[in-house]
């Protein structure tokens, strides 16, 4: 019997969490030979948590409240370390708590995972639910990431990780900044399923253009040395074009230098000491039994 831990970070979005737990309960009852537990990491929400009840098909439901807000990615990093240290598990499914990572795809993740028990499975985005402006900006983000890092990253937090891959990731400082970037950097072999980005249970998407920019730079900065190397070659190439295109090339060189500066600043988000000591941010822990 495989033991699957589901990790969900949450900040204030308690209505969505309740709806998500209900849908998870409905989906996991379709899956044979697996036992499921769930860890909810409350990122120091300013809205008081409602009374939570353990869905019948979950073996365990644990709520950990953090002392101070550290952000979505860091709650995931903490949660992976906590599960690896405290729980008996075979795989971890990481998913957002707002409904955009659809519980209906959990059976697909498990089915794919069972095809090769040694490989993690990512939910590759084939369709998104945001407006055309955001979708085009997201495509631009993927292009820039591929161009400067050589890595095609077409998945987010929705991942089904093997125990082996969790043990690899939890000591990597890049995990403190980006789970998808860190996964792509350190895990070479994995499987994937096609995934449709769902709609939030309540309210509009919280992924603003500014947050998308931070998200993009955080991923790219995981590969900062590759970015700096490729940018150096590109700057040298532009130098040869300067005598033909003049100020236009100089403008591109300035943009490229500023881009690399932003990548360097984003890379400062990585902090291995903070990752290792993330357990010190625990305020309270509640095991919900009914």
Q: Phi first, then psi: give them for residue 161, nearest 5 degrees.
A: -100, 140
Q: Phi first, then psi: give them for residue 210, nearest 5 degrees.
A: -65, -45
Q: Phi first, then psi: give them for residue 110, nearest 5 degrees.
A: -70, -40
pLDDT for 129: 59
In a domain, 48, yes or no: yes
DSSP classification of residue 105: G
- Whether 252 and 171 map to the same domain: the answer is no
CA dist 123 and 194 (Å) reads: 6
Measured from the Cβ of residue 141, the count of other Cβ atoms closer than 10 Å reads: 18
How crowded is the C-beta side of 280, counted as CA atoms within 13 Å?
Answer: 5
- Whether 193 and 258 map to the same domain: the answer is no
| Lookup result for tokens 């409240």 | 65
pLDDT for 255: 95
How crowded is the C-beta side of 206, counted as CA atoms within 13 Å?
Answer: 15
pTM of the full predicted structure?
0.93
CA dist 44 and 85 (Å) reads: 22
Q: How many domains does the chain have?
A: 2
Domain of residue 158: give its range.
2-130+154-205+272-288
- Whether 252 and 283 map to the same domain: the answer is no
CA dist 34 and 90 (Å) reads: 10
- Whether 118 and 247 map to the same domain: the answer is no
- Whether 244 and 171 map to the same domain: the answer is no
- Strands 58-66 and 155-162, bridge-based pairing: unpaired
pLDDT for 127: 66
In a domain, 60, yes or no: yes
Low-confidence ranges of the chain (pLDDT < 50): none
In a domain, 217, yes or no: no
In a domain, 230, yes or no: yes
> What DSSP assignment string belongs to 207-240?
--HHHHHHHHHHHHHTTHHHHHHHHHHHHHHHHH
């Amino acid at each position: 019997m495989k033991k699957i831990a589901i990790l969900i970070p949450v900040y204030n979005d308690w209505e969505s969490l309740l709806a998500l737990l209900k849908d998870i309960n409905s989906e996991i009852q379709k899956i044979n030979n697996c036992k499921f537990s769930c860890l909810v990491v409350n990122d120091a929400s300013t809205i008081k948590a409602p009374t939570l009840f353990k869905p019948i098909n979950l073996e365990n439901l644990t709520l950990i409240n953090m002392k101070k807000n550290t952000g979505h990615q860091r709650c995931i990093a903490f949660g992976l370390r906590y599960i690896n240290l405290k729980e008996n598990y075979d795989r971890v499914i990481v998913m957002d708590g707002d409904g955009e990572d659809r519980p209906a795809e959990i059976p697909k993740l498990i089915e794919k995972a069972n095809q090769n028990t040694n490989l993690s499975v990512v939910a590759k985005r084939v369709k998104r639910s945001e407006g055309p402006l955001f979708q085009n900006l997201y495509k631009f983000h993927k292009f820039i990431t591929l161009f400067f890092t050589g890595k095609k990253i077409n998945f987010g937090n929705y991942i089904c990780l093997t125990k082996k891959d969790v043990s690899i990731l939890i000591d990597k400082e890049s995990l403190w900044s980006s789970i998808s970037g860190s996964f792509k950097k350190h895990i070479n072999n994995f499987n994937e399923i096609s995934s449709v980005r769902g709609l939030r249970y309540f309210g509009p998407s919280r992924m603003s253009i500014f947050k998308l920019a931070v998200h993009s730079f955080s991923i790219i900065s995981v590969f900062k040395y590759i970015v700096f190397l490729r940018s150096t070659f590109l700057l040298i190439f532009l130098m040869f074009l300067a005598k033909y295109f003049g100020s236009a090339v100089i403008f591109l060189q300035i943009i490229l230098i500023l881009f690399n500066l932003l990548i360097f600043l984003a890379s400062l988000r990585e902090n291995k000491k903070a990752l290792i000591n993330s357990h010190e941010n625990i305020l309270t822990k509640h095991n919900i039994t009914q």
